[in-house]
A and B are shown apart, each in its own frame.
Chain A
Amino acid sequence: MRILSRLGTMAALLAALLVASFLLLHLVPGDPAVRIAGLNATPEQVAEVRHRLGLDLPLHRQFAEYVMDGLRLDFGRSFRTGEPVTDVIGGSLGVTLRLAAAGITVTMLTGVALGIAMAALTREGRRPGVETAFTTGTSLVGAVPEYVTGAVLALVFAVGLGWLPVAGLADPAGLVLPAVAVSLAPVSVLARVIRVETLAVLAHDYVRTARAKRLHPVIVYGRHVLPNALTSALTVGGLIFAGLLGGAVVIENVFALPGLGSQLVQSVMARDYPVVQAVIMLLGASIVVVNSCVDGALRLLDPRTRAVSS
Chain B
Amino acid sequence: MTAALRAFRSTSAGPVALAVLTLLAVVAVVAPILWGERATALNPATAVLGPSAEHWLGTDRLGRDVLVRTLVATRTSLGLGLLAAAVAALAGLLLGGLVAVLSRRAREAGLRVLDAVLAFPAILVAIIVTLILPEGTASAAVAVGVAGAPAVARIVVTLATAVLARDFVAAAWGLGVGRSRILVRYVLPNIADSLAVSLSVVAGAALVVVSSLSFLGVGVQPPAFDWGGMLSQGVMDMYVTPLAALAPAVMIALAGLAFGLAGEAMARVANPSVWTARRTGRHTALAAGTGTESDALLDVKGLTVTAGAGPGAPAIVSGVDLRVGRGEIVGLVGESGSGKSMTVLAVARLLPYPVESVADALTLDGHDLRAGPGERVRRLLGTRLALVFQNPAACLNPALRLETQLTEVPRTHQGMNRAQARELALAGLRQVRVPEPERRLRQYPHELSGGQRQRATIAMALAGRAGLLLADEPTTALDNTLRRAVLNLFREANAASGTAIVLVSHDLSVVRGLCDRVVVMYAGRVVEEGPTREVIARPLHPYTQALVGSTLTMTTPLDRPLPALDGQPPRPGERQEGCAFVPRCARAEDRCAKERPPLRAYPGARRTACWAVEA
A contacts, CB < 8 Å to B? 5, 9-10, 12-13, 24, 27-29, 123-126, 128, 132, 135-136, 139-140, 142-148, 151, 154-155, 159, 204-216, 219, 223-224, 227-228, 238-239, 242-243, 245-247, 249-250, 253-254, 261, 264-265, 268-269, 271, 276, 280, 283-284, 287, 290-291, 302-304, 307
Contacts and interface: CB of A to CB of B under 8 A. Distances in A.
A144 B258 CA distance: 12
A204 B404 CA distance: 18
Nearest to A150: B235
5 contacts: A125-B354, A140-B253, A143-B204, A209-B387, A214-B382
A143 B132 contact: no
Contacts of A291: 116, 119
Interface residues of B, number: 82
Contact of A212 (B218, B348, B354): B348
A206 B398 contact: yes
Closest 8 CB pairs of A and B: A143-B256, A247-B121, A124-B353, A214-B382, A227-B399, A148-B249, A303-B444, A205-B389
Contacts of A27: 132
Contact of B132 (A24, A151, A209, A250): A24
Contacts of B217: 265, 269
B294 interface: no
A290 to B, nearest CB: 8
B576 interface: no
Nearest to A228: B399
Given A261-B124, A265-B127, A303-B444, 14 more contacts: A24-B131, A143-B204, A144-B253, A151-B235, A205-B395, A209-B396, A212-B381, A213-B409, A247-B123, A265-B218, A269-B218, A290-B119, A302-B399, A303-B399
B231 interface: yes
A265 B130 CA distance: 11
A247 B124 contact: yes
Question: Chain A interface secondary structure, helix, strand, loop or mixed?
Answer: helix
Contacts of A204: 394
A128 to B, nearest CB: 6
B353 A125 contact: yes
B242 A155 contact: yes
Interface in B375-432: 378-379, 381-382, 385-387, 389-391, 394-400, 404, 408-409, 412-413
A147 B215 contact: yes
A276 to B, nearest CB: 7
B115 to A, nearest CB: 8
B219 to A, nearest CB: 11
Contact of B216 (A206, A208, A212, A265): A265
A183 to B, nearest CB: 15
B514 interface: no
Given A224-B397, A265-B217, A212 B386 contact: yes
B181 interface: no
Given A205-B390, A205-B391, A213 B399 contact: no
A10 B350 contact: no
Contacts of A143: 204, 208, 252-257, 259-260
B222 to A, nearest CB: 14
A210 B397 contact: yes
B134 interface: yes
Contact of A151 (B238, B280, B354): B238
A128 B278 CA distance: 13
Contacts of B132: 24, 27-29
B119 A287 contact: yes
Contacts of A239: 118-119
Contacts of A148: 231, 245-246, 249, 252-253
B353 A123 contact: yes
Nearest to A211: B350
B245 A151 contact: yes
A155 B239 contact: yes
A283 B124 contact: yes
A307 B447 contact: yes
A71 B246 CA distance: 47
Contacts of A159: 239
A12 B409 CA distance: 51
B211 interface: yes
B389 A268 contact: no
A9 B120 CA distance: 15
Interface in B451-482: 457, 460, 464
